[in-house]
């Protein structure tokens, strides 16, 4: 998918972002720019800080040094700002994290109704449209526990989209899924990418990455080791560490 984003406005900017867990340096001087409509895939060995990185963007993790600017708003400890940024940034988790005590429909409408003050009827119509878009309209009145993993993850995507976010973060969205369900989730993500959503995706799905990404980011030990286009990244990686990682992951 060739797709030019160089002239688009910057949506997310990270300047010298650092984070520690006690003495452990989880993020080490991260500098990144994500432009409108850009699809960035972040990969790297486990413990390399890729999940931590995207979780600092909606402050599920707090950074201790540096600057994160989302849509021109700098992330500070101010609760109101955090709140504003979170409403614009959707997130999909590895473990889905649907609310088990609410129906699929209520999972999706809860935040639009209570945080965006959208009338219940209208929110439900939007939710049903989203469910149709992710291909599980018929599950609207079930509870999350009655759905398969792939279906749950698609509900989670619909739930995030219902807030009409400008940016979507995906934290290993297919890692907890049985192999036969991975495709249905990736298909939804592909469709989102086609429609111009700004996306940051942490994933090991290299086929998906090669096909969809504008930018590949490889992380190791809390640092960004390499950042390039997928073409370069897969055919001609510059760093030795990247080559090792690609060898391991692609030869499986």
Partner 1 sequence: MKTTVQPYRGDRPPIFKTGALNWMKNNLFSPWYNAVLTVVTGALLYILVTPLWRWGVTNACFGTTPDVCKDNHGACWAFIQDMWPVFMVGTYPSDQRWRVALAAGLVAVLIIATLFRALRKQRVLHLCWVLSPIVIFILVRGGEVFHLSHVPSTQWGGLMLTVFLSLVSMIFAFPLSVLLALGRQSDMPVIRSVSVAYIELVRGVPLISILFMASVVLPLFFPPEMEFSKIMRAVVGITLFFAAYLAENIRGGLQGLSQGQYEAADALGLGYWKKTGFIILPQALRIVLPPMVNNFIGILKDTSLVGIIGLIDLLQVAFAATSNPKWLGKIEEAYLFVALFYWIMCYSLSKFSRILEERYQL
Q: State the Cα–Cα distance between residues 108 and 48, nearest whole angstrom.
A: 32
Q: Among 12-20, 109-117, 218-226, 241-249, which window interacts with partner 1 (CB under 8 A)?
A: 109-117
Told to check if 110 binds partner 1 by CB under 8 A, we report: yes
Q: Pick from 62, 64, 101, 122: which binds partner 1 (CB under 8 A)? A: 101
Q: Is 177 in the site for partner 1 (CB under 8 A)?
A: no
Q: Is 151 an interacting residue with respect to partner 1 (CB under 8 A)?
A: no
Binding region for partner 1 (CB under 8 A) out of 3-11, 24-32, 62-70, 89-97: 89-97
The minimum distance between CB 117 and partner 1, in angstroms, equals: 12
Interaction between residue 227 and partner 1 (CB under 8 A): no
* Beta carbon of residue 168, minimum distance to partner 1 (angstroms, whole number): 11
Count of beta carbons in the 10 Å neighbourhood of residue 177: 21
Nearer to partner 1, 34 or 155 (CB): 155
Q: How many residues does the chain have?
A: 252
The span of 14-22, 67-75, 84-92, 237-245 binding partner 1 (CB under 8 A) equals 84-92
Q: What are phi and psi of 150, to 5 degrees?
A: -65, -40
Which range of residues in 1-9, 65-73, 98-106, 120-128 is near partner 1 by CB under 8 A?
98-106
> C-beta of 100: minimal distance to partner 1 in Å?
5
Does position 243 bind partner 1 by CB under 8 A? no
How far is the C-alpha of 134 from the C-alpha of 184, rounded, in Å? 9
Question: Which residue, among 171, 193, 167, has the nearest Cα to 73 in the 3D structure?
Answer: 167
97 contributes a contact to partner 1 by CB under 8 A: yes
Among 19, 35, 63, 86, binds partner 1 (CB under 8 A): 86
- Binders of partner 1: how many residues, by CB under 8 A? 23
| Closest CB to partner 1 among residues 31, 76 | 76
Q: What is the DSSP string of the chain?
A: -----TTSPEEEEEEEEEEEETTEEEEEEEEEEEETT-EEEEE-STTSSHHHHHHHHTTSS--SEEEEEETTEE--S-HHHHHHHHHHEEEE-TT----TTS-HHHHHHHHHHHHS---HHHHHHHHHHHHHHTT-GGGTTS-GGGS-HHHHHHHHHHHHHTT--SEEEEESTTTTS-HHHHHHHHHHHHHHHHTT-EEEEE---HHHHHHH-SEEEEEETTEEEEEE-HHHHHHS--SHHHHHHHHHHH--
Determine if 76 is a binding residue for partner 1 (CB under 8 A).
no
Query: Which residue in 14, 30, 53, 91 binds partner 1 (CB under 8 A)?
Result: 91
Binding residues for partner 1 (CB under 8 A): 58, 60, 83, 86-87, 89-91, 93, 95, 97-101, 110-111, 114-115, 145, 159-160, 163
């Amino acid at each position: 998918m060739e797709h030019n984003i160089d002239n688009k406005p910057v949506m997310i900017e990270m300047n010298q972002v650092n984070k520690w867990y006690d003495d452990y340096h989880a993020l080490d001087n991260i500098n990144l720019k994500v432009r409108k409509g850009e699809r960035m895939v972040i990969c790297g060995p486990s413990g390399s800080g890729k999940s931590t990185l995207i979780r600092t963007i909606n402050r599920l993790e707090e950074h201790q040094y540096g600057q994160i600017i989302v849509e021109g708003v700098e992330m500070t400890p101010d609760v109101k700002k955090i709140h504003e940024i979170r409403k614009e940034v959707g997130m999909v988790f590895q473990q889905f994290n649907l609310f088990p005590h609410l129906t699929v429909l209520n999972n999706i409408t809860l935040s639009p109704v209570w945080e965006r003050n959208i009338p219940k009827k209208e929110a439900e119509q939007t939710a049903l449209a989203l469910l149709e878009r992710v291909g599980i309209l018929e599950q609207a009145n079930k509870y999350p526990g009655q759905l398969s993993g792939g279906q749950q993850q698609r509900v989670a995507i619909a739930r995030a989209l219902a807030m009409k976010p400008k940016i979507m973060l995906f934290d290993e969205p297919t890692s907890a899924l049985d192999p036969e369900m991975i495709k249905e989730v990736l298909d939804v993500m592909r469709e989102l990418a086609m429609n111009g959503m700004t996306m940051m995706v942490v994933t090991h799905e290299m086929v998906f990455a090669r096909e969809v990404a504008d930018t590949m980011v490889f992380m190791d030990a809390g640092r960004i080791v390499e950042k390039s286009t997928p073409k370069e990244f897969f055919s001609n990686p510059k760093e030795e560490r990247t080559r090792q990682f690609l060898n391991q992951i692609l030869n499986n």
